[in-house]
Structure 1
Amino acid sequence: MVMDSPLMEPLLDPNGQAPAVAATPDEHGVAAGDESSTVVGNGMDADGSRRTGGASAHAEENDSDDVKGDEMSASMQRRLDESSAVEDEEEVGDDAEADEMASRMERRLAALPGRPHESEPFTIFRVAGPMRDRNRHLYEPQMVSLGPFHRGAGRHLDAMEAHKWRYLRDLLARGGGGGGATLAAYARAARAMEPRARRRYAEPVPLPPAEFAEMLLLDGCFVVEFFLKGEEKADDALIDASWAMQNVYNDLFLLENQLPFFVLERFYDIATGGLGRDHLVTNVLVKYLTVDMGAAQDAETARPPDGEIHHLLHLYYHWFLPPEDRPGSGAGGPAGAGKSEDEAFEEWMSKPMDERIPWQLPSASELKDAGVTFRAKKSPRSLVDVTFDRRGGVLEIPAVESYTNHAIFANLLAYEQSRGRWELQRLVSYVLLMASVVDARRDVEVLQRAGVFVKGDEETATFYAHLGELCPPPEFVENCYADLFRDVREHCGRSWNRHRAVLVHDYFSNPWTSMSAAAAVFLLVLTVVQTVYTVLPYYNPS
């Protein structure tokens, strides 16, 4: 008898139907069970009663679960195998792409000029920093572009491109002395100099070699012919127009607008039949580069620097600030000259803080009140030849007669800052000193009365203040006036010097006050003498 039991419920599917179960054969291979082994789909036997054999059905379900588990395991294994194969393919692909990338980078490394750990010979830089953005007119050419940095930079430079071709034609017409200066000779020279000239620029130049060489030829021949026309005083609309001449002159000495000097030297050599660098420098360029230099060298005494000349601005800087044989009194010497960077740094660190980082001086009027006397220096070696006499408290500054070329001064400052960390920054030091001393109209008047400024006005103070903004902060400057700053501060710190300055200012500033003071002193002496002679008989009657 079959009983309805809760234990049979799990055999039912969710619809309340039992799955078909095959009869389990006995030991003789005959199916065991009722007379009819047919199972009705609704879970009842043929006679209408509920079927038996629940245990057999449960066992078969377990077997089915095992089969499904095996199938699932096999499927998962296949997926894992496929994923592993894909990862292997990706690793192989990554290795191939990495090899290709390394090969491409190696080709670019092999194309780099120079050797590892070898400093590049950069001599032509682009001025950087926020001050450049606010003073573009000081660093960018206004009329003619030379070199790659400003090539095709604007319409205002296009007109001079036609003049370059005209100057090239005039230079070729000279014949090179011996008649062999053909355009092909210049072209061969330009192609030979192209790799070396390209390495002089601190930024990559995207021009192809042939186009770069053509730029060198056209710009270099223009500069050479420009100076040759000026030497010969030839009639030329560009040179005869004073405004054009001044603009071209300024553009020739912009740091960003330079050609390597060996390019100019080679083209000049071809054009003149081999006169050489010394003739170019001492007979041609010196007539232009020593104009409007103020206290710099005269044209007769100017000499080219030893070693390589980098470009025209480098030559101008050398003549504007010639090297000194010995450090001036109180001017400091080149701390890093002839020494390694480590030695220069150790020497710099060994100095007291106020000598390592000389800050600004008081204004000229304040220094005068503290007992400092200003005087125009006689026969200065350069514009920066500033000295201080500690005994007399005299600060001697070279006279500034007519130098007001803001653009060239700014580019000289920029060039000086591009020479290296431990190079003595003499021009930057001078500008910082003058910017601190000349602070207002009253300071300009003090220096004008001393003969330092031939012409003094409010624009003079503005001029030095603006130049001071183009300099780095004082703590980052290798200042050549460290000893001078220290001596001036010590002098101003003595109270006697200040009292003496007040006495001179109040009683001896002009002849009338001097006469009044002398009369007062004379009367005081007479009064003392009279008092002595009056009192003396009282104590010594005899």
Structure 2
Amino acid sequence: MDSPLMKPLLVPNNHSPGPVVAATPGEHGGAAADESSTLVDAASGTDESHRALADADVKMNDDGDVQGDELSASVQRRLDESSAVEGEDEEEEIGDDAEADDMAARMGRRLAALPGNAHESEPFTIFRVAGPMRDRNRHLYEPQMISIGPFHRGAGRHLAAMEEHKWRYLRDILARPGGATLASYARAARSMEASARRRYAEPVLLPAAEFAEMLLLDGCFLVEFFLKGQESAEDALIDASWAMQNVYNDMLLLENQLPFFVLERFYDLATGGLGRDYFVTNVLVNYLTVDMCVGPRDPESTRPPDGEIHHLLHLYYHWFLPPEDRDGSGTGSKDKEDGEALEELMSTSADERMPWQLPPASELKDSGVTFRAKKSPRSMVDVTFDRRSGALEIPAVESYTNHAIFANLLAYEQSRGRWELQRLVSYVLLMASVVDARRDVEVLQRAGVFVRGDEETAAFYAHLGELCPPPEFVNNCYADLFRDVLEYCGRSWNRHRAVLVHDYFSNPWTSMSAAAAVFLLVLTVVQTVYTVLPYYSQN
């Protein structure tokens, strides 16, 4: 049953309660009629209570409406903000997709312009020398007189004077009888532009036409320079010895190279097609064998190398270090089976498996190692060690080249690949460890390895050793030789014999004194024997 006090709460808001219609008994029965009569009486008889309840109802409804309006407005604001954010996100997503498509299209055009194919190694053969040692030795790697190639093009005023000589040499090569026209050279340069550009390990920013012009000027200069030298033609540049030496040095710098196929092409155009072998042989004989001589050379070393020639420095490296077997460089051969050798190798420590350097020559001598100048070496790095006699044979060094050529040969060898055998780096590290001081130079000079020896010789190898990578990162061709030498020095008998020779047979007087002492000792023993024998014979 509904309470009479609840009825006014059902009155609609903002409406006064109207007359209450009593229910008839027929509709709800007698109980309902009585209840309705009671409500009517209460409504009509108690005005103050009714007004109080009505006022309370209006107040509650007003407060609820205000709070509801505020809640509704807050929710609507949140919905509007959410809709706005979603709209902005949709706009941003649409904008981001468009920007991403533009970026992908731009990068796709860059990828499509790259030469070569995916997972295909680039044919880099001309590099810049990297590392902190380059910063301290720029004079060893940068041209001093003439720029060849793009790396040092227009690098300084000291190179500008030779640019005019390039144009003069181009005029001379075009005036050769039977030679090609300038248009033929230009077409050849343009056809080689893309392939030549790919040989440089750094991006070359020159446009295609300017890069081809550089190939034409620099390539024709080198070809004409070789032809003038071969013909002994009068030329102020070649006749001046200082200029000749500077040009010779600059064209053997790693950073100052042209791809060799460019020179071959221009040489064919200038000579009417004499061929690659003829060109290479004449360059070797007339230019690349005038320095760093190490004695008589095998005629086979002047033959053109097999395969592609990368550049002039590569050709010089081939002459300086002709191919040879690994065993020929002092590695030696083992008679043990591979399994036994591997087991023995892994049972030793890392330092014993791969010794990084040798003791100085004076210490090796005290340990029983003898030094000899190697007879008829195949190359400058043909160093061998005899484990039975303890003789370390090193090719005699008859003359020294300047630091620049040696430094660039080292740099080129390190650019060939990490799996290539680094013979020249190995040789420099060997000599730098053996030649540590003036007394070591004297030991090798007495052995005939050095024709002349002084403190500058030790400094020369020490400086070259600084241009090499750390020994543990070198594919050293003397690894077995190092182990054999250290094993030989570790034998006690060899050390004692060396001490005996050093202390008692180092000069004639000590040798005579030692011999006299031994003779007296023998006489004393004989006298003792003859004194004791009669006693035993009587008994």
**TM-score w.r.t. length of structure 2:** 0.85
CA contact (8 A) 1:413 1:428 kept: yes
**Residue in structure 1 matched with residue 112 of structure 2 by the alignment:** 110
Match of 2:478 among 457, 476, 481: 481
Does the 8 Å contact 1:348/1:356 carry over to 2?
no
Equivalent in the alignment of 2:23: none
Cα distance in 1 for partners of 2:352, 2:145 equals 44
- Cα separation, 1, equivalents of 2:67 and 2:312: 93
1:494 corresponds to:
491
Report how many aligned residue pairs link the two structures.
486
Q: Given that residues 329 and 382 in structure 2 are in contact (C-alpha distance below 8 angstroms), is that contact kept between their aligned partners in structure 1? A: no
- 2-structure distance, mates of 1:279, 1:292: 21
Q: Deviations over 1:180-215 (max 9, x none)?
A: x11111110000001101111111111111111111
Query: Structure 1 residue 93 and structure 2 residue 84: aligned?
Result: no
Paired AA for residue 204 in structure 1: P
Aligned residue type for 1:312: L
Q: Secondary structure at the match of 2:319?
A: helix
Tell me, yes or no, if structure 1 residue 388 matches structure 2 residue 379.
Answer: no
Which residue, out of 464, 475, 493, partners 1:467?
Answer: 464
Residue 223 of structure 1: aligned partner: 222
Tell me, yes or no, if the aligned pair for 2:297 and 2:378 is still in contact at 8 Å: no
Give, in whole Å, the separation in 2 of the partners of 1:428 and 1:121: 23
Q: Which stretches in structure 2 are left out of the alignment for 5+ residues?
A: 1-12, 20-51, 334-341
Q: Aligned runs of 1:2-151 on 2, under 5 Å?
A: 24-27=15-18, 53=55, 55-151=57-153
Matches within 5 A, 1:332-343: none
Q: 2: CA distance between counterparts of 1:261 and 1:347?
A: 46
User: Deviation of residue 459 (structure 1)?
Assistant: 0.5
Moved more, 69-78 or 423-432: 69-78
The aligned amino acid for 1:66 is G
Against the structure 1 CA distance between its residues 69 and 227, is the aligned structure 2 distance closer, same or farther, given a 3 Å change threshold? same
| Contact 2:149/2:257, CA 8 A, preserved across alignment | yes
Q: Residue 322 of structure 1 aligns with which residue?
A: 322
For the residues of structure 2 that align with 1:106 and 1:229, how far apart are their CA atoms? 49
What SS does the aligned partner of 2:445 have?
helix
Give 3-state SS (helix, strand or coil) of 1:202's partner.
Answer: coil
Say whether 1:428 aligns with 2:425: yes
Q: CA deviation at 1:67?
A: 3.1
Structure 1 pair 273–144 and aligned structure 2 pair: CA distance change class (3 A): same
The question of 1:524 aligning with 2:521 is answered yes
Unaligned runs of 5+ in 1: 1-21, 29-49, 334-345
Q: Distance in 2 between matches of 1:348 and 1:171?
A: 64
CA contact (8 A) 1:152 1:158 kept: yes
CA distance in 2, matches of 1:289, 1:23: 115
Q: 1:238 to 1:113 in 2, by over 3 A?
A: same
1:449 corresponds to which of 443, 446, 449? 446
Paired AA for residue 316 in structure 1? Y
**Identity within the alignment, %:** 78
Aligned to 2:158: 156
In structure 2, what is the equivalent of residue 268 of structure 1? 267
Q: Is the 8 A contact 2:294 2:399 kept in 1?
A: no
Amino acid at match of 1:363: P
Q: Distance in 2 between matches of 1:213 and 1:297?
A: 41
Opposite residue 358 of structure 1, the aligned amino acid is P
Asked whether the equivalents of residues 373 and 449 of structure 2 are also in contact (C-alpha less than 8 Å), the reply is yes
Write out per-residue CA displacement over residues 37-92 of structure 1, whole angstroms, 9 at most, x where no aligned residue: xxxxxxxxxxxxx9x94542442343243334333333332232222111111111
Return the alpha-carbon distance in structure 2 between the equivalents of residues 329 and 104 of structure 1: 53
Matched residue, 2:286? 287
After TM superposition, give the deviation of residue 225 of structure 1 in Å.
1.0
Select the structure that is richer in helix: 2
Residue 24 of structure 1 and its aligned partner are, at CA, apart by 4.1
| CA displacement 1:6-30 (0-9 Å, x = unmatched) | xxxxxxxxxxxxxxxx9744437xx
The letter of the residue matching 2:356 is W
Counterpart mapping for 1:304-383 below 5 A: 304-325=304-325, 327-328=327-328, 330-331=330-331, 353-354=350-351, 356-383=353-380
The answer as to 2:184 corresponding to 1:185 is yes
How far is 1:166 from its partner?
1.1
Are the aligned partners of 1:361 and 1:436 in contact in 2 as well (CA < 8 Å)? yes
Distance 2:261 2:345 in 1: 39
Q: Deviation of residue 244 (structure 1)?
A: 1.6
SS at match of 1:540: helix
Residues 1:504 and 2:501 aligned together: yes
Cα deviation, residue 385, structure 1: 0.6
Question: In 2 relative to 1, CA 27–122 (structure 1 residues): closer, same or farther, beyond 3 Å?
Answer: same
Over 3 Å counting, the alpha-carbon distance change for 1:281 and 1:391 in structure 2 is same
Tell me how large the CA RMSD over aligned residues is: 2.6
Any idea what the Cα deviations from partners look like across 1:255-291, whole Å, max 9, x if unmatched?
1111100001101110011011111111234321112
Query: 1: distance between equivalents of 2:217 and 2:347?
Result: 51
Contact 1:250 1:408 in 2 (8 A): yes
State the alpha-carbon separation in 1 of the partners of residues 409 and 148 from structure 2: 17
Q: What is the SS of the residue equivalent to 1:200?
A: coil
Per the alignment, residue 166 of structure 1 pairs with 168
Residue 139 of structure 1: CA displacement? 0.9
Letter of the structure 1 residue corresponding to residue 74 of structure 2 = M
Query: TM-score w.r.t. structure 1 length?
Result: 0.84
